[in-house]
Structure 1
Amino acid sequence: MTLVFSCITPHGGEIIPELCGALPQRMAKTRESMDRLGEYMRLAAPEAIIVLTPHGTRINGQFSISNSEHMTGNVEENGAIFSMARVVDRDLASEIELYTKQAGLPVGSINYATSAGPLSSLPLDWGSIVPLRFMPDVPVVIITPSRDISFEKHLQFGNVLRTAVQQSNKRVGLIASCDWAHAHKPDGPYGYHPAAMELDQRVVNLFKNNQLEDMVNFDSQFIEDAKPDGIWQTLILAGAIPKLERRIEFLSYEAPTYFGLLCAAIR
């Protein structure tokens, strides 16, 4: 099979309705877009969902693939806690690892405690929990890229991901979990930098013009100043869905706090 539906989602905790607190309007536009993306995914009826997240278990210099029996985690925001547990599609995870190794790319699969069974459980990070809150409850594979690996190899890894999905005979959804520049507000944890608005505007234009691969041309200092965490996952998605086959429905962008939130459906 092929990828039945893909999307770019943000992962700010307040997007989850249960965590919005006293300011539900703050991320209302994004929350509405996430509801729409979740409906699109349900209509596509995936048997498994791959999530590309910057906040999962990292392996320096390698693509990290979850291959535990289960994953569980919590997101805390505004005095509330949202919890989630998911089963891992271990067959799909193993196939992705196999094809990645055959392509000569650096990769490692990860597990914890026991090889199988209830104790084989890894943390589910907020970069996965937030988008999965809006998606059908099906088995998952969580993949975390490494910033030590070149942009070009992220595109190549996307090609490998596509091949593994095609060989799996499964209907698979793909989520690239991406927040954008984190330097929009002087009172945010990373301070303010004018590069934040510039980078997010360029990213929005790249989505609207179906030019995702052009993110490889972003200057390293520009990235450091703006502090996005979405480039790497987006490049993997771009490699998995070639430009000529890719149709992007841009849904929304907003930066109601210190970081940018973007939602797009990709078919």
Structure 2
Amino acid sequence: MYPFAYACITPHGGEIVPELAGDNPERMQETRKSMEVLGDRMKAAYPDAIIVITPHGTRINGQFSVTECETVSGFWQENNLTYHMERKIDREIAGSIVASAKETGLPVGGLNFGTASGPLSSLPLDWGAIVPLRFMPAVPVVIITPSREVSLDKNLELGKILRRVARESNKRIGLIASCDWSHTHNPDGPYGFHHAAKELDEKVIGLVKSNQLEEMADFDSKLIEDAKPDGIWQTLILAGAIPYEERKVTFLSYEAPTYFGLLCAGYEKE
């Protein structure tokens, strides 16, 4: 039984957000249009909550982190413009994920701040969540951040936990794997240029289109280091949450208009 209202792989480049596009809205226009499509499909699925897997949230070395506070809020800036967002956390779903992961022996920590509950119980919301959520319905969220110190196979296992929690919940749950890809496409970018960027992103496009997401766990470590993607871990969690036989993929777009790759794909019941 397909457990999610809707699921997708999204990028999180700040200029995708229309309010942050500045004087060059054409630069990520293809991706922005695809994000509007994904957002419309998520809205049409009427989720009660959305799980966002982001590489840029609060990290715990050697553990998956799951927000269990009351709210998250944050902002992102591009082109001297600022976009702010606040969301409630679905603490029931977050708590179920943490408890289920601990039962299976996965390294996981539940995050809170200030007070156990109430208005002071709040954590920052990162751009890896803010950007895709800009296009999604304004429902409660759960923010999950993987750790690079955890083996890739455990990301698949955490995905299975998300699947179990979604199936056992009486809520309609959306799922977002927030992923930018290789960060070495442009010599003027902060990580410089490496030919591995094109190689890795072409492999990713092929695996997304062919629905073979699990094969990203076999990527060569040097290729990953040279290309510097930040999407493999989140994608493997999504792959664990939605098995191959249940994944119906709609590939929407890929582009690398600056120094990093942007990919949009949606998943619904086969």
Question: Would you call these one fold, judging by a TM-score over 0.5?
Answer: yes
Is 1:32 aligned with 2:39?
A: no
* CA shift digits 1:233-258 (9 cap, x unpaired): 00000000000110110000000000
* CA shift digits 1:190-245 (9 cap, x unpaired): 00000000000010000111100000110111100000000000000000000011
For structure 1, the residue ranges without an aligned partner over 5 or more in a row are none
SS at match of 1:3: coil
* CA shift digits 1:127-178 (9 cap, x unpaired): 0000000000000000000011111110011001100111121100000000
Is 1:42 aligned with 2:43?
A: yes
Q: Partners of 1:109 and 1:254 in 2: how far apart?
A: 35
Letter in 2 for 1:116: S
Q: CA deviation at 1:7?
A: 0.1
SS at match of 2:5: strand
Q: Partners of 1:167 and 1:99 in 2: how far apart?
A: 11
Q: Partners of 1:130 and 1:57 in 2: how far apart?
A: 16
CA RMSD across the alignment: 0.7
Letter in 1 for 2:114: A
Q: Partners of 1:161 and 1:2 in 2: how far apart?
A: 9
Number of aligned residue pairs: give it.
267
For structure 2, the residue ranges without an aligned partner over 5 or more in a row are none
Q: Partners of 1:49 and 1:28 in 2: how far apart?
A: 25
SS at match of 1:6: strand
Letter in 2 for 1:193: H
Q: Tell me the residue number matched to 2:70.
A: 69
Letter in 1 for 2:112: N
SS at match of 2:214: helix
SS at match of 2:7: strand
Q: Partners of 1:167 and 1:210 in 2: how far apart?
A: 25
Give the TM-score normalised by the residue count of structure 2: 0.98
Q: Tell me the residue number matched to 2:4.
A: 3
SS at match of 1:247: strand
Q: Tell me the residue number matched to 1:159.
A: 160
- Where do 1:1-267 residues align within 5 Å? 2-267=3-268
Letter in 2 for 1:217: D
Letter in 2 for 1:154: N
Q: Partners of 1:151 and 1:243 in 2: how far apart?
A: 17
Answer whether contact 1:48 1:172 (CA < 8 A) is retained: yes
Q: Partners of 1:2 and 1:237 in 2: how far apart?
A: 12
Letter in 2 for 1:28: Q
Answer whether contact 1:33 1:251 (CA < 8 A) is retained: yes
Q: Partners of 1:53 and 1:14 in 2: how far apart?
A: 17
Answer whether contact 1:179 1:228 (CA < 8 A) is retained: yes
Q: Partners of 1:2 and 1:94 in 2: how far apart?
A: 18
Q: Partners of 2:125 and 2:158 in 1: how far apart?
A: 22
Letter in 1 for 2:236: L
Answer whether contact 1:2 1:162 (CA < 8 A) is retained: yes
Return structure 1 stretches of 4+ with deviation > 4 angstroms: none
Letter in 2 for 1:37: L
Q: Partners of 2:244 and 2:10 in 1: how far apart?
A: 19
